Every structure is written in C-alpha cells, then in structure tokens.
Amino acid sequence: MLTDAVKMYLAIRRAAGFELKAEGFHLKSFAAFSEARGHQHVSADVAIDWARTVPSIAQRARRLGTIIRFARYLRAEDPHHEVPAPIFGAEKLPRPAPFVLTMDQIHQIIDAAAHAGYRTLRRATYSTLFALLACTGLRVSEAIRLRFNDITADGLVIRRTKFRKSRLVPLHPTARAGLERYLRQRRPYAPFDDHVFVSIRKKPLLLANVEIAFQMTVKRIGLPHGRGRVRPTLHSLRHAFAVRALQTCPEGRDAISRHMVALSTYLGHSHIAHTYWYLEAVPDLMRDIADQAECLGIGGRS
C-alpha cells in the first residue's frame, strides 16, 4: 500500500531531522489519489496527473519534485515504482539577488528606528533588534524567540532553530553592552514575560509587525521599497553580515575552506552550498574571485 510506504518514508526522514510538513501532506494526498485509481506503486502518469490538480506551474513542479524523491526511495528496493520526469521544470526557482546593505545604510536604519514613532520602548526595541541582526547574522525568527536565559556569558544560545539544532552565537562586547542597555529599559516594562524583545502591548514581537517596522524605516531613509525591484528586506541585515564575514576571509585554499565551514555553522545553514551562494550573488565577491583567478592564471599568488 502506498499509504504505508508514505508513513515509513516520512518516519525515516523525520528521524533524520526533517520536518516535512508540506511534503507529508502532499505525499498522503498523492497516496490517496493513486490508491483511488487502483495503483499500489508509484506511476509516473498518475503522479503527473496529481501534480496537475493545482493551477500554478511552480506549484506543480514542487509537488512533482516531492514524488520524484519518494519514488527514488521506493525504487531502490522495488523496480515496479516509476520515477516521473520533471516535466514542469525546476522544483526550486533561482534565489533572488540579495540587497546587501552598506555599513552607512545599516547605521541609518538603526538611527531611524531609534527616532521613529512615540517616545516608548518601541524605539529601543526596533533599533536594538535591527542592530543585533546586523552584527550577529541571526534570522529574524531566531531573534524574536530569544529568552532571558538564552543570553549567557559565552553568547546567545539559539535553541532548536530552522533545522531543530541549537548553536551558540558569540557576542562582541559592544553588542552585549547594547543588549544589556535595552534590557534595563525592557525588564520593568513587561516583567512577567521573559522574551528579550516585546511589543508596546507587552507581548512577544510578531514577525509581521517587525516586517512592517523595517519597511517603514527603509522608506523613511529613502531606500528602494515596493514589489518588482531589488529592495532591502529584514533578511538583508543577515546578508550584510555574511558578506562582511566573507570579505574578511584570509587567503589560501585551506584557510578559505575552514572559514566557509565556520561561517556556515555560525549562520546555521543546513548545507554549505547556502553559504557559497553569497560568492555568486554579490558582485563585489564575484569581482574578488575573478581577480584571484586572473592572478592565478598569470602565475601570481592565489
């Protein structure tokens, strides 16, 4: 039964650390769709018909990609399962070009947030949050989930994050001083909540509200905003941190490899390819690579 195969497949992958919420739902839907048509093995035609039940080509590609992985797993032990061809195109679209903030722009964002709105804790909350994102490279979701106990002498403990793994993020003394300054204002404001960052309603920050505050801030200082263009997002603060870290990478193949692995671990990337992506996504880093390659080609230092 395909339904039983789906349960086994999901159990194995989830034991390896994958959540598979959407994939689990899709696989169960596909199994029911196939069994209703009398199929106990993966059929390429049935898989394509099932993927076609949604209108978007991008959705179809993602759904079919899920079945392709599932079919490959099953076919390893049973050749009766068919692996569909990816007829709807690539499952994942190319990542959009990042907007890499300069240090001046980051300072403008923090300063604008510190002077926006009413004279309440809101100013300190968003200016401190944006500064913390810029100097640590944290994901926004990680920062707004921070609790008092996550601030340790060794740094910030980021608990069971995107890939259900915890990691330690060291804090520069200036970052620690800024965070402690904010906490002196914040603790008496909402003494019964242990989240580091709270809203003016004395509740944990919501991602949607942080997004709005950031977009209002970048608009205020004149940075691009709106759809259909390369524009700064909250993730741009993380991008800026990653790019600065790569720009300080020492020369030498071994040193570069160690630096990339360390940065990938620090950022909490699931795969080091996500860290190497910055090399091709940022023109300044691509230019550095081209210069090094040219130097190597003419017999200089690499």
- Which of 37, 52, 160, 162 is an active site residue? 162
Is 139 a residue of the active site?
A: yes
The reply to whether 162 belongs to the active site is yes
3-class secondary-structure state, position 38:
coil
pTM above 0.75, yes or no: no
Q: What is the pLDDT, as a whole number, of residue 1? A: 82
* Catalytic pick among 126, 182, 266, 278: 278
Catalytic residue among 81, 195, 238, 239: 238
Report yes or no: 246 and 270 within 8 Å, Cβ to Cβ: no
Q: Is 235 a catalytic residue?
A: yes
Fold of 96-302: hpI Integrase; Chain A (1.10.443)
**H-only helix segments in the chain:** 2-15, 21-36, 44-51, 57-75, 103-114, 121-136, 140-144, 173-186, 207-220, 235-247, 253-267, 273-281, 283-297
Active site includes 269? yes
Domain ranges of the chain: 2-75, 96-302
Catalytic residue among 39, 231, 269, 274: 269
Residue 11 pLDDT: 94
Residues 264-300 pLDDT 10s: 766 776 666 676 666 666 666 556 655 655 565 666 5
147 SS3 class: strand
Catalytic, out of 123, 235, 244, 274: 235
pLDDT in tens, 147-188: 999 999 999 998 866 556 788 888 999 999 999 999 999 999
What does DSSP say about strands 167-169 and 155-158: parallel, antiparallel, or unpaired? antiparallel
